[in-house]
Amino acid sequence: MKRKPYRKILIATDGSENARSAACSGLEIAKKTGAEVYAVYVAATGCCSPLMPESYDWELGKEGSEAVAEIEEMGKEAGVPVKAVLLQGHPALEILNFAEKNDVDMIVMGTQGKAGVDRFLLGGVTEKVVRHAKTEVLVVRAPCS
């Protein structure tokens, strides 16, 4: 049985080392398949934690812009165009919704993101995405080489 080629790849990022490792893998696959790449950052809002604000937090937005810009730069170095996407809400839900609405063939994520009160843990997000995704999910743990 022959699988269809990847056309669209979503790389979820929070700016962490694990997210960069995931981006390396996602960009490598995109380079080999010619897939479009979306670098997606979700600023978690009050839906996820009582410690997160209900409205958009511009500091998180700045962090998100930096995180997707890093993936865009990695893409330039690899010769792969990357479209930056900044979202807000519940990270797993936003990633899943974006993937479904944009016919993404593969979601690429790190095993765990940044820790700390003001940042979401990508580990919990990754688990939810893996459980509920309607497409392939590649979870990356190893660092870039």
Within a 10 A sphere around the Cβ of 134, how many other Cβ atoms? 9
CATH number of 8-140: 3.40.50.620
| Alpha carbons 25 and 114: distance in angstroms, whole number | 19
Neighbours of 69 (CB within 10 A): 16
Cα-atom radius of gyration of the chain, to the nearest Å? 14
Which residue matches tokens 């893409």? 75
Q: What is the pLDDT at residue 45?
A: 77
Among the listed residues 122, 104, 100, 141, the one whose alpha carbon sits nearest the alpha carbon of residue 41: 122
Q: H-type helices in the chain, by residue range?
A: 17-33, 58-78, 91-101, 122-132
Q: What is residue 85's predicted lDDT score, i.e. its pLDDT?
A: 96
Tell me the average confidence (pLDDT) per consecutive run of 10 residues in the chain, 145 residues long.
86 92 96 97 71 53 89 97 94 96 96 50 77 94 72
Q: What is the pLDDT of residue 56?
A: 52
User: What pLDDT score was predicted for residue 145?
Assistant: 64
Start-to-end Cα distance in the chain: 32
- pLDDT number for residue 73: 97
* Phi, psi of 43, rounded to the nearest 5 degrees: -80, 110
pTM of the model: 0.84
Domain spans, the chain: 8-140
pLDDT value of residue 117: 34
From CA 111, how far away is CA 131, in angstroms rounded? Answer: 14
Q: Is 102 exposed, middle or buried (0-12, 13-18, 19+ CB in 10 A)?
A: middle
